[in-house]
Chain A
Amino acid sequence: MSLDALTEIAPRIGERAGAPLLAPRTLEDLERCVAFARDAGQRLSPTGNGTRLALGAQGAGGDAWLHTPALVPTGESGILEYVSGDGTLTARAGASMDTLRAAVAEGGHRITPLLPAGSTLGGVLAAGRSGPDRQAFGPMRHHVLGMICMDGNGRVHRSGGRLVKNVTGFDLHRLHAGAQGRFGVVLEASLRLVPRAEAEVLLVSRVLSSTADAARAALHVRDLSGLKLTGLVVEARRVHVLLTGREAQIDADAARVHSALDVEEECAGEAATDALLGAWRGDAGLRLLTRPSRCAKVIEVVAAAGVREDALSVEPGAAIVVVPAGEAGRCAAALSAEAAPRLVELGVTFDARMPDAPAWCAQPRSGAAATWTRRLEEAFDPAGVFAPATRGAR
């Protein structure tokens, strides 16, 4: 009954993971959906193109999905402002990342994070997804300049702005980035762009004896004095090094990487970034967050528990070991007996971007941090309208 009433406000355009997909076309429709859900005790899960389901979200945590791409007027890109001369982009949350990337590429820019195709701006921001270029540029949230969001009160609020440097007011957008829509729907966001490089090259090592050895080799490359890396990834026991910058410098840096690493493959030009993205499997699965110097040890513990080493995707500089989605279930089972406590001893924190994550992956906040989070939920969504997509034990 309630769902029928909701579909009168926002048409049902399909189904996703067992829940109806509702498409509000205007801000007013969205506001009415939120108000209705608040009064009727319904729960809504904001969503972009649903690529996060491939990251392990099991389905809508609520009664229906709210499809934010529907808020981009038909035939429009969703770009509100691209200031090439200032290196900034402002777009609607439902805008396709692929469209945004193509638009800023024409102006000589690129967007970080570097991610596989198909996602929306709002989806990437809400999910807190970063790409293999975080070695150079850091996590996604560092590049969000400002946001406009609608919270569970139906209140549209803005923080930050469209400027590359700005400390006016509190950084609410940092709270929304990675919150999975818990405090509201992202409507609009501004990003700092990165200049496109004159030259790019991807260097891939031969297969090393173990993933731990590959991680050590990767850190050795990272520590070469003065070497600037854009991406540093271990996949299938091979070190992948992405260099971007001025042509002459890249040539010199590539020679240094060759001297430190047994490079088997090399790929230059724009294909280099695509090749890294094609190889990278760190976007989904069971993520083990550690520190760079402990990466190899963490890998050894995981391997000793019977997890196939070749399955691991590692970013040693960012201290992330990922068991990709396809392997994550088996890995979780393998780890649960003895290895998980050892990983905890090593200071590992878990991020289960996978279905059916085991209970030991959940590391709920406690003490004051739990109280702050509860107060934030009470302030921004007192009726509990927004239900993030479910994700394992979280």
Chain B
Amino acid sequence: MELAAIVGERGVRSDALARSAYESDGFMLQREAPSIVVLPRSTEEAAAAVKVLRREGLVVVPRGAGTGLTGGARPIAGGAVLGTARMKRILEINPDDRFARVEAGVVNVHLTAATCSHGLFYAPDPSSQTACTIGGNVGNNSGGPHCFKYGSTNRHVLGLTLVDSDGEITRVGGIEPDPDGIDLLGPLVGSEGMMGLVTEVTVKLEPSPERVETLLVMFESLDACCDAVSDMIAARLEPSAIEILDRLTIEAVEASVLRAGYPEHAEAVMLVEVEGGPHEVDAIATDIIELARARGAFEARRTADDEERKKLWAGRKGAFGAMGRIAPDLYVADVVVPRTRLREIVGVASRACAARGLKLSNVFHAGDGNLHPNISYDRRDADEVARVLAAGKEIMEACVAFGGSLTGEHGVGLEKQGEMCLVFGDDDLAAMSDLRAAFDPHGFWNPGKLFPVRGCREIEARPLGSEAR
């Protein structure tokens, strides 16, 4: 009743249908219905709602569009979900100073659509950009294909508004590109909703390039395609995106409505975007094609035609959806390795899945060393689920052994918290826990995520959601 007075009747849901709709994010293997879903329309409403929820002893999971893939937005039993779905206003676009100020619930692609008439764009472009929100991107420090050139979300956030566990509203950062002193903004980006609710974000906008070309390069072997990418990085070529799709992905995309025009007889295709001035584009594209051919590419072509480029990229970004043709569920792994070791980790993923009778497809940000081995499965089959998770674990372990890490852009969430011990020791995790406690000493925000629940000498030994009780 009190919450309804703050956010309106439509902003509070505790019926079974709504609770069920929010029981997981894109990581379907872990579900938990929240007690209540609260959807404020403004920062002030969010802050007031936080005060009520805190007083009532509920822990809170912040949520954008729920497109996350590691369970970061999965509710806590008995807790609340505080969503930004109704905070969708673009508050300011400033072309002179090249920034935009948006509410956290603005969908990623809507921001770029709103800025393109000014000759500007917002660079981070996750594959889910037609659904995911800017606030969610901040929570996960999201990436996307063009982060190869432009970097992940943390390089594009100038400031944000945070509601903390006391319901206080604080503006962190501003519009200055290079502020001085202690950087409180940096650790908040990518904090997986564990330090507060981000309600507004000020982001940097990039000038649109003069010319953009997409290269479609085809290989008879996925290994050769990976090696070509490693060569490009070693040669210090600077396209804006380097993506790889393997044969199974190509087939799924071409059999779907997306029909991007990928060659179905290729074992792998590399999709490269080159941008800049015409001479620069020409020089980089020429070098890339030469290197790819030296690695055995059987065809490589350039296109500056907008329609064709859009189709090629729509296929890439829609690839995860297209895989629904293969099986009802998809486990999207997200690991990262040094770019000198792409071929090796692709081999590990392939063997890990083959040994368990699982169907693997690969579509990934090769230029960043950020792999997405995708395992198709049916979550109603408990044995298959166990095999999928075991394969995922093996891939993560191999990545760490290769000098890589657990996640390049999806975050740790629930899925990878056990593996955090592979990367970090007790002191590292304790320091991170201290960082979190400085912003949220009550364990109010998204408890039970990211830190290992067991192991690592019981860094966080409390059961999920117990911190605020």
Contacts and interface: CB of A to CB of B under 8 A. Distances in A.
Interface of A: 83-88, 108-109, 128, 130, 134, 138-139, 141-142, 151, 155-159, 161-172, 174-175, 177-179, 182, 195-196, 225-228, 245-246, 248-249, 251-253, 287, 289-293, 318-320, 349, 351, 367-369, 372-373, 375-376, 379-380, 394
Interface in B424-442: 424-425, 427-432, 434-439, 441
A148 B174 CA distance: 28
Contacts of A376: 182, 434-435, 438
A367 B171 CA distance: 10
Nearest to B420: A169
A189 to B, nearest CB: 14
B183 A170 contact: no
Given A169-B428, A170-B432, A349 B174 contact: yes
Contacts of A379: 434-435, 437-438
14 contacts: A156-B427, A159-B428, A164-B368, A166-B408, A167-B410, A174-B183, A174-B187, A179-B183, A226-B208, A226-B209, A246-B284, A251-B279, A349-B180, A372-B439
Identify the 10 closest CB pairs spanning chains A and B, nearest first: A174-B186, A226-B210, A195-B236, A351-B180, A248-B279, A157-B431, A375-B438, A379-B434, A249-B280, A249-B279
A167 B152 contact: yes
B152 A182 contact: no
Question: Interface residues of B toward A: which range?
Answer: 35 or more
A169 B423 contact: yes
A351 B409 CA distance: 33
Q: Determine chain B's interface SS by DSSP, over half rule.
A: loop
B187 A139 contact: no
Interface in B254-297: 276-280, 282-284
Given A165-B152, A166-B408, A86 B176 contact: no
Given A84-B234, A138-B177, A157-B428, A246 B279 contact: yes
Given A84-B234, A109-B236, A134 B177 contact: yes
A162 B450 contact: no
Contact of B405 (A85, A166, A171): A166
Interface string B169-202: 0101011111111111111011100000000000
Interface stretch (B140-148, B343-351, B383-391): B140-148
A155 B187 CA distance: 19
B64 to A, nearest CB: 16
Given A165-B408, A372-B439, A319 B176 contact: yes
A195 B233 CA distance: 10
B437 A375 contact: yes
A249 B186 contact: no
Nearest to A245: B280
Contacts of B412: 167-169
B66 interface: no
